[in-house]
Structure 1
Amino acid sequence: MVRNGWAMTGWGLGSAGFGLGCALSGTELFGAGRSGWVVAGVGVASAAAGLAVVRRRPVLRLRWFRRLLWALCGVAAVGAWGLLMDGVTLLFGQSVDSVPDSVERALAAVGAVLLARTALGLRPGARGGRGGRAVPAPTAAPPLVQLAAWAGTLAFAPYVLMKLVWALGGSFAGVGGDRMYADYVRNGSSGLWLTLERWGLDGTMLLALLGVFLLWGLVRPWGQVFPRWTLPLRGRRVPRWLPLTPALLGAATLAPYGVVGIGYLTLCTAGVTRIRLGAFASEQSALEVGWVGMCGFAGYGVALVVAARSYWRRTGGSAGVR
């Protein structure tokens, strides 16, 4: 726990410095003028909480202190929203919309993990350190969790098919594959992205398939012990951080993005507001593509939350609880 406290203190001071620098220089974060002060405040509060953990203050035994850590974790998780999209953008050679926003998302993601880990370690009955800790046997997730994984997989299927149709030169919602390829070129997509498109492989489609693979790794025993087809790694324990890190980042990004997006599309469909056309020729086309994407992101994101929670508990995050 002391190590967690020092890590949280260091992150809090760094985040506070970044937020203060943005506030004093007039750099807006996420389009809000005073957001730098909020980032600085969360950083200072986290650093103070980290020092309390390091010095083993009596406050650690109070329930409100753990609630404070979870509240700070929630704020940090909100700040990390969109990090996955930034990662995808950079992976394929494109530039992010705002460098300060991307830096803050990365900082917030690290802070959310540190705060959650510290809060979990302060629960009554939680064990500190690794000594003497039994490693749970590999188990599959309960049936309801696996049902959620199926729901998340099926929710993503229309999105994958839509992208595949475009990559193969077909048309969906009145938009052809040639038009999508021309948009990628105009937006400065990397050579790798364009090459995949010419081969009939859309980059986001491949990432979606990789996400489904991750989802099932969280609910099946082979996600805890490397299976035979991994050759040199087979039979070895999968480090918990290996699937949990992308799972938590993906859940924090896709679940709120999809849910908020569905709310927005509902208002657009009801005529309360008008959808942005972007590269689409009509509102109907934009709505069709939007519903496919947002239902996929929301369904998969929520399933990822459920699966990651189950994996955390089955691999030792909460003894005896699935």
Structure 2
Amino acid sequence: MVRNGWTVAGWGVGYAGFGLGCALSGTELFGARWPGWAVAGLGAVAAAAGVAVVRRQPVRRLLWLLCGVAALGAWSLLMDLVTLLFGQRVDSVPDAVERALAAVGAVLLARAALGTRRGARDGAVGPVRAGRGAPTPAPSPAPSPAPAPPVVRLAAWAGTAAFVPYVLMKLLWALGGSFAGVSGERMYAGYVRNGSSGLWLALERRGLDGTMLLALLGVFLLWGLVRPWGQVFPRWTGLLRGRRVPRWLPLTPALLGAATLAPYGVVGIGYLALCTTGVTRIRLGDFADEQSALEIAWVGIGGFAGYGVALAVAARSYWRRTGV
């Protein structure tokens, strides 16, 4: 728990320094200058919370609150990662750096919050100093592989189903078909116009959309979090068969994905609801009319929201089931 506290404090100092540097230099974050001050303030509070964890002070609720704010700060990080993966440039380097730092902070803050709960459960009220006669506690055995509870598995099914329309839409475009009045050729021309990489364009020409492939990998990750084979390598992994899966291997992408997609999708659903009811108007982007833009956005944002929430639920269950 002490180590978690120092880690959070260190991240808070670094995050505050980044925000302060942006604010003082006039560097814009998300199209404005004031977010730099907000980032600096969040980092300072997180650093103080980390020191409080080291001192065994009850700050668990504050840690979860900061975790939620940091997760919001990681908004659309996954989109930046996809962009970089296929050799394209992100729209704003400072924005991408902030999202990456915020996502790391969300993971560290969640870990510290869970650590404080475990410390309280185990009766850890202060640092223990080792002495000659002090017994050394035996390490807890790793839990046996077990599937997630039924409600978590139901969430995994819901998250999978939410991605099906998105995958089918992308596959249809990649194969040259049309959806919501937009043809595959038009989508391909948009990729070329927006400077997509050669790898991305080559995949599209072969009927494989990059984001569709990543969605399928995401579903694979989701089920690895809820099934026993996500804790012990199964037979089809060859030489790894029967070995324990390191917790960080599925949890790192799961937590980063959840911190990005869950808030992005949920807030996006609210925005689309306002657009659908006429309260505001959706940005057309590369689409010809609002109807097409809305239909496509509902498929994409709906998939992100459903999958992101399911991933968060599954990651939490995996964390708890594999904790030692």
**TM score, norm. by length of structure 2:** 0.91
- Does 2:180 match 1:173? yes
Q: State whether structure 2 residue 149 is matched by structure 1 residue 137.
A: no
Q: Secondary structure at the match of 1:200?
A: coil
* 3-state SS of paired residue (1:122): helix
Partners of 2:68 and 2:137 lie apart in 1 by 27
> How many Å apart are 1:201 and its aligned residue?
0.3
Choose the corresponding residue for 1:161, options 161, 164, 168.
168
Aligned: 1:18 with 2:6: no
Match 2:195 to one of 166, 185, 188: 188
Match status 1:214 vs 2:208: no
CA distance in structure 2 between the aligned counterparts of 1:126 and 1:185, rounded to whole angstroms: 58
**Preserved CA contact (<8 Å) 2:103 2:260:** no
CA distance in 1, matches of 2:19, 2:69: 14
Q: Distance in 2 between matches of 1:257 and 1:6?
A: 29
For residue 279 of structure 1, give the secondary structure of its aligned residue in structure 2: coil
Counterpart amino acid of 2:305?
A
2:91 matched to 1:84?
Answer: no
How many angstroms does 1:33 deviate by? 2.4
1:247 CA displacement: 1.0
2-side partners of 1:270 and 1:15: how far apart? 39
Q: Note the C-alpha offset of 1:41.
A: 1.7
| CA displacement, residues 111-142 of structure 1 (integer Å, 9 cap, x when unaligned) | 11111111211111258899511210000111
CA distance in 1, matches of 2:123, 2:86: 42
1:107-146 to 2 correspondences below 5 Å: 107-123=101-117, 124-126=120-122, 132-146=139-153
Residues 282, 293 of structure 2: 8 Å contact kept: yes
Distance 1:260 1:48, change over 3 A: closer
In 2 relative to 1, CA 30–139 (structure 1 residues): closer, same or farther, beyond 3 Å? same
> Which residue does the alignment assign to 1:94?
88
Q: Please say if residues 121 and 127 of structure 1, whose CA atoms lie closer than 8 Å, have aligned partners that are also in contact.
A: no
Q: Which runs of 4+ in 1 moved over 4 A?
A: 126-131
Provide the rounded CA distance (Å) in 1 between the counterparts of 2:77 and 2:176: 30
Tell me by how many angstroms 1:239 deviates. Answer: 0.9
Paired-residue identity, %: 80
Specify the alignment match of 1:199 in structure 2.
206
Q: Does the 8 Å CA contact 2:232/2:245 hold for their aligned counterparts?
A: yes
Give the 3 Å change call, closer, same or farther, for CA 144–53 of structure 1 in structure 2.
closer
1:3 aligns with 2:34: no
Q: Quote how far apart the aligned CAs of 1:9 are.
A: 2.3
Alignment-derived partner of residue 300 in structure 1: 307
C-alpha distance in 2 between matches for 1:131 and 1:50:
27
Deviations 1:153-206 (A, max 9, x none): 111101000000000111111111111111111111111111111110000000
How far is the alpha carbon of 1:271 from its aligned partner? 1.9
Shift of 1:242: 1.0
1:315 aligns with one of 304, 308, 322:
322
Q: Distance in 1 between matches of 2:9 and 2:283?
A: 42
Structure 2 unaligned residues grouped into runs of 5+:
125-135
Aligned residues: 311
Q: Is the 8 A contact 2:106 2:259 kept in 1?
A: no
Map Cα deviations across residues 243-291 of structure 1 (whole Å, 9 max, x no partner): 1111111112112212222222222222222221111112111111111
In structure 1, what is the Cα distance between the partners aligned to 2:280 and 2:320? Answer: 42
Q: Which residue type is aligned with residue 125 of structure 1? A: R
Query: Does the alignment pair 1:243 with 2:250?
Result: yes
CA 1:199–1:260: 2 relative to 1, 3 Å: same
> Given the two structures, how large is their TM-score scaled by the length of structure 1?
0.92
Say whether the 8 Å CA contact 1:158–1:292 is kept in structure 2. Answer: yes
Alpha-carbon distance between aligned partners in 1 of 2:13 and 2:108, rounded to the nearest angstrom = 13
